[in-house]
Amino acid sequence: MKVLVVGGGGREHSLVWKLNQSPRVTKVYCAPGNAGIAREAEVVPIDVTDIKALVDLALDEGIDLTCVGPELPLTLGIVDAFEEAGLRIFGASKAAAEIEGSKVFTKDLLAKYNIPTGSYKVFEDPAEAKAYLKEVGAPIVVKADGLAAGKGALVCQTIEEAEDAVRLCMEERAFGDAGNRVVIEEFLVGEEASFLAFSDGKTVLPMATSQDHKPIFDGDKGPNTGGMGAYSPAPVVTPELFDQTMNEIMIPTVQAMASEGRPYKGVLYAGLMIRDGKARVLEFNARFGDPEAQPLFMRMDGDLVDVMEAVIDGRLDQVELQWQDDATICVVMASGGYPGDYEKGKVITGIDEADALHGVKVFHAGTAEKDGKIVTAGGRVLGVTARGKDIPQAIERAYEACALISWEGAQYRKDIGAKARKFL
Ligand code: AMP
Ligand code: GLY
């Protein structure tokens, strides 16, 4: 069968890599892809938001299954458009993707169904929002309601910072219409983990545990990014916490979405804050995590196509997922200056040498090919992913591989996976 992956980041490279391992797949397409994906799939230069062109591509090429990486096309209704055209597609419908597309929707849903999360209040008026900040004090979190490319959650240590955040969203309109409403949310402390599951609208099939590293610098310092590294399994999610998360968060959320007339099909990704052995929801995403997908797919046994088809056909109850005992870790190498301004077009060396190391796979994110060379083309550039018999060995291999790769200004965290050590 022919499959199409929509997107062009590290997550999509790992999807292409995993789908290519399926004995049922004869050809993988990716739109728009990147330089690494171009070596493993046919890349087509269509933007992820050009849904009509993607539908036409799938019809023209006889694509049997499409899989969507990023959130934006999901919230724009790519799944609905493909289904209307009679095409098979894996991902959340527009109505279901609202769980990522609107923080107001999600907080209201969690409150209505008593699913554990921090307390919050919604504002449409900046003056009222600021008055409330004075009442509750800091630390506090201000979030733009809509999608803001991962930049819309502002963790504020002082009331002044929080007022600035309200101004940024609502008066300066830094995130456009996404900031028409803000959620002001209780600041939660603890350790974060990512909890991903497949859902066919009824059955929830959890993936292995994983943990992201959002801040740019070691020790979780500096501004948040899309994610600077991830690993699996994440021992902070103990078996008890895993069961609690399934029973109090994941299953109730899928049931709630069904009750709301928004059956949830695809990947449900809960960002959790864990404290004293209890998990609460920070946010939901309607897709695989990036970079969590990279270490997860490296550990996942079996045919991903079978799982995706079971989701589409509503028979996930018949599927069992198997995970290798190995640990995996992905270290993201980024452009100098990211998550702020950065230059593109820097020549990257050492990728092939790193890739050749035992147990290592270098997934590309923001890369392009120019004059036969691989150059940087984005903030997050590579996801250097390695397996090991345990987390320390996986860490050692990943960093051995990173040391072989260089370009002008390259930066990466040196402590990915370090949080797991206290549990080992
Ligand atoms: P979000 O876009 O909602 O995932 O938020 C991005 C990041 O901001 C999270 O991964 C957390 O590190 C942080 N964050 C979001 N909400 C809260 C909260 N209520 N308390 C503490 N940190 C938060
Ligand atoms: N790794 C965070 C995200 O995918 O949103």
Kindly report, residue by residue over 283-328, the tens digit of the pLDDT: 999 999 999 999 999 999 999 999 999 999 999 999 999 999 999 9
- At 399 the pLDDT is 98
19 and 308 in contact (C-beta within 8 Å)? no
The preferred substitution site among 141, 195, 280 for testing ligand 1, maximizing ligand atoms within 8 Å of CB, is: 141
Burial 154-188 (b: 16+ CB within 10 A, else e): bbbeebebbbebbbbbbeeebbeebbebbbbbebb
Measured in Å, how far apart are the chain's first and last C-alpha atoms?
A: 42
Q: What is the pLDDT of residues 357-389, one digit of tens each?
A: 999 999 999 999 999 999 999 999 999 999 999
The preferred substitution site among 269, 296, 329, 416 for testing ligand 2, maximizing ligand atoms within 8 Å of CB, is: 269
Q: What is the full per-residue pLDDT of the chain (424 aa) written as tens digits?
A: 999 999 999 999 999 999 999 999 999 999 999 999 999 999 999 999 999 999 999 999 999 999 999 999 999 999 999 999 999 999 999 999 999 999 999 999 999 999 999 999 999 999 999 999 999 999 999 999 999 887 889 999 999 999 999 999 999 999 999 999 999 999 999 999 999 999 999 999 999 999 999 999 999 999 889 999 999 999 999 999 999 999 999 999 999 999 999 999 999 999 999 999 999 999 999 999 999 999 999 999 999 999 999 999 999 999 999 999 999 999 999 999 999 999 999 999 999 999 999 999 999 999 999 999 999 999 999 999 999 999 999 999 999 999 999 999 999 999 999 999 888 8
Binding-site residues, ligand 2, Cβ < 6 A: 212, 227, 285, 289-290, 292
- At 391 the pLDDT is 96
Check pocket membership of 107 for ligand 1, CB cut-off 6 A. Answer: no
Check pocket membership of 304 for ligand 1, CB cut-off 6 A. Answer: no
Which ligand sits closest to the CA of 70? 2
Q: Where are the alpha helices (DSSP H) in 21-170?
A: 51-61, 71-75, 78-84, 94-101, 103-112, 126-136, 159-166
- Residue 153 Cα to ligand 1 middle (Å): 6
Check pocket membership of 144 for ligand 1, CB cut-off 6 A. Answer: no
Q: ω before 116 within 30° of 0 (cis)?
A: no
Q: Rounded CA gap, 47 and 51, in Å?
A: 8
- Residue 293 Cα to ligand 2 middle (Å): 9
Question: In order of start, what are the domains of the chain with their CATH numbers?
Answer: 2-91 (3.40.50.20), 125-180 (3.30.1490.20), 191-323 (3.30.470.20), 327-421 (3.90.600.10)
